[in-house]
Amino acid sequence: MFAVRRPRPLRAKLLTLAVATMLTYGLTTTAAHAANTYTVNDLGDQPDITHGNGICETGAGNGICTLRAAIEESDADGIDSTIKFAVPSLFTIAPNSALPAITAPVAIEGSSQPGYVSTPIVVLDGRNITTGNVVALALNVSSGASSVIEGLSIINSNTPVPPPANQGFATGIENDGSVGATIESNYIGTNGTADLGNNEFGIVVSHSDNTIQNNVISGNGEFQGCCGSGYGIYIAAGSNNLVRANLIGTNAAGNAAIGNRIFGIGIQGSVTGTMIGGSTSSDRNVISGNGHTGISINGSPTNTTIENNYIGTNASGTAAMGNAINGILINGVTGTTTIGAPGAGNIISGNSEGVEFANFINQSASATIQGNSIGTNATGTTAIGNANSGIDDQGAGLVTIGGTANGAGNTISGNGAQGIFLRGGATNVSIDSNQIGSGPPLINAGPGIEIAGNGTSNNTIHQNVIENNAGPGVKIDDATTDNVGNRISHNVLLGNSGSAPDIDLGGHRATENDALDIDTGPNNLQNYPAIDSTAAASGMTTVDGHLDSKANHGYLIEVFASSGAGPCNGDVENFLGLDTISTDGSGHATFQVASRSRRPQPTKARTTLRSSPIARPLRAESRRPTFRSETRVGTLPSRGIRTMGWITSSPSRTTALTPTMATTSLSLSPAPPICPT
C-alpha cells in the first residue's frame, strides 16, 4: 500500500529572497530567513534551548535534536520548514506531555528515517501521557503553505487496553488551522498488525482542503465510548476534504479487522464537498471491521461523494469484514449525498445493513445511489450479503436508487432480508434500472423490494430486474391504509417466492375486482385487468382486454410476455406494449395492445391509473401460457394490482392463448380461480 511514496502536494521550497531597500545614499540588499531542515536524532523529550536561531539543539553546541525541539524551532522560524529523522533504534519517541502545536508550515517526513522502505519505522507513542485530551500532532497553521505529515506510526502502547483515564494520546493528528494539510502513509492507532489505538480519534480535521491518503487508520477510540468519539477520521467542518486510498478499520494487509470503536469515517456539521474515494480504483478506501458504521454522515453536511470504496469487505473484495451495524449511515442529513456513480460504484457488503437512512421526519435526503454492488463480492459473482437489508430507507425522500444512464443501476443481491426496504413515510423515492436478486447464490432472503410503515407513498419502481428473491418481487404491507400511489412499472419479475410471488399487496395473491374499486389497502387494492382475446396476423400479435375499476378515471395498461407459465407463478418478463384508457361512468373500459410477433410466450397484463407518476401492477393468468397485462393508476392515489383471468372458448374448458392463434371470439370464463386472493 505504501510502496510508492507520492510527491508532497502544494509545497514549494522557499528560495533565498533578496529584499531591496532604497536608502538615501545608495541601494542595500538584505538576505531573508531561508527555509530550514531540522533532523531529529534523539528519542528524548528535551526542549530546544534557543528558539528562532535556526538550530535545533537541546543544549548549547550539543547537537542533540529531539522532536519537541524541532517543532519549537520550526514554529519560531515561522516559515516553511522540514523535519527529518535519523533516530537510533528502538525508533520510538514517547513524549511526557503534549508536544507544541504546529503553527508554521512544516513537512514532517517520517520516510526520511534510514531504513524506511514502505512502512513507518519512527513511532510516536503516547504511553507516557497522563493528562487528558492530548493530540499527538496538532496543526494550527493560519497562513502559508500546506503542511505534510507522513511516514509515522502514531499509537498508544499502554497496557492494559483500554488504558486508564487520561493516559495516552486522545487523538493522533488534528488539523484545527485554516490551512489544509496532507496526511499520508502513516499508521494511526496500529503498528500494522495490532490494536494500539488512540483514545478518541485517529484524525480530526476542522477546516478545508485536507488530503488524507495512503494511511492505515485503525483501532482508535480505545478509551472513550459511543458516541462522541471513537472515529478513525472525524471531519467536523470545512470544505473540499479528500479521503482516498486508506485502510480504515483493518490491518496493514487489509485481511483482518482492527476496528475503530464507532465509525470508520464520521462527517458532521458545516461540511461541504467531502470526497471519500474517487473516480478510479487507485482512490479506493477499504472501510471495514469498525465497531458501528463504516461511513456516518450526520446532520447538515452537503455535497458528500462516496466512490470506488470497499465497505465491509477485505481489501481484495472477496470476503466479509463487516462494519458491525451499517456500511453507510445517512442520519437526518439535510444536504446532498452521492453514493457511487456509473463506473465508480462501491462494494457495500458484509455489514449488518448496507446503506441506512435514519431519523428523517418530513425531510428530504437528496441522495443518489448508483453503480454500486450491495451484498456481493467485487466481481458480482458471489454473495457477501449484508445481514439485513441492502438499502433501508426509514423515511428519507428524494432518494434516487439507480437510474437510466448506462451503468447507473445497482446490483442489490445476496442480502439477508430485503434488497430495498422503504418505510417510515419515505416518499418520492425512485428505484430505477437495478438488478435486485439474481440466480443462486445471489438471492436476497426476503422481498426484492418491500414498502411498509405509515405514509410510505408516491414512490416509483421502474424498469428493474427483480428475480429469484426468497420473498415477493415487490411487497407492499397492509399494516396501514396510506401506503398508496406507489408506481410499479416496466419491471421484470421472475422466480420470486411467497404466497404472491410477483407483487404482494398485503398478502393478496390476486386482489378482488370489487364494483367501482372502492376497497382500501396497499395501493388501494387496485382492481386488475382481464385479457379477453389474442390474435396473430401479418407478423403482429394483438391483445384485447378490459378493466372494471373506478368510474371516469384514466389508466395505463402494460402487457408483458413470459417464457414460463404456470398457475400463479407471477413471472413478468418481456414488455410488449401499453394502452392508455379511461373508464366510463360504470367504471368499464377496454384496452388493446399490438406487438410484433415473437416466439409464443405466456402473456400478462398490468394496470395503472394515468396522469400521475404512480403505478401499480397486476396480472392476468391462464392455466397455460396466456398474455398478462398491468394496470397502473394515476389521478387518484394509485394502486398496485395483481390479477388473474381465465380465457376460455366455452364455460367448460380452459384454453391456452398464444401469439400464433387465429382470432377467436372468447369470453371470461366463469371457472373458479386457481389462485386464492
What is the predicted pLDDT for the residue at 639? 27
* CB neighbourhood size of 615 (10 A): 34
Do strands 588-596 and 574-582 pair parallel, antiparallel, or not at all (unpaired)? unpaired
Contact predicate 259/287, CB 8 Å? no
CA 127 vs CA 90, 94, 170, 197, 449: distances in Å: 15, 7, 11, 11, 51
Structure confidence by residue, pLDDT tens digits, 27-58: 333 333 457 999 999 999 999 999 999 999 99
Q: Which residue has the higher pLDDT, 445 or 600?
A: 445
Which range has highest mean pLDDT (317-331, 484-498, 559-573)?
A: 317-331
Distance of CA 552 to the CA centre of its chain: 44
Compute the distance between CA of residue 85 and CA of residue 109 in angstroms, rounded to an integer: 7
Q: Which residue has the higher pLDDT, 600 or 95?
A: 95
Structure confidence by residue, pLDDT tens digits, 456-479: 999 999 999 999 999 999 998 876
Compute the distance between CA of residue 342 and CA of residue 347 in angstroms, rounded to an integer: 13
Flag the least confident range among 340-344, 502-506, 564-568.
Answer: 564-568
Contact predicate 641/606, CB 8 Å? yes
Quick one: pLDDT band at residue 363, thresholds 50, 70, 90? low
Structure confidence by residue, pLDDT tens digits, 390-422: 999 999 988 999 999 999 999 999 999 999 999
State yes or no: cis peptide before 160, omega within 30 of 0: yes
pLDDT value at 166 more than 80: no
End-to-end Cα, the chain, rounded Å? 59
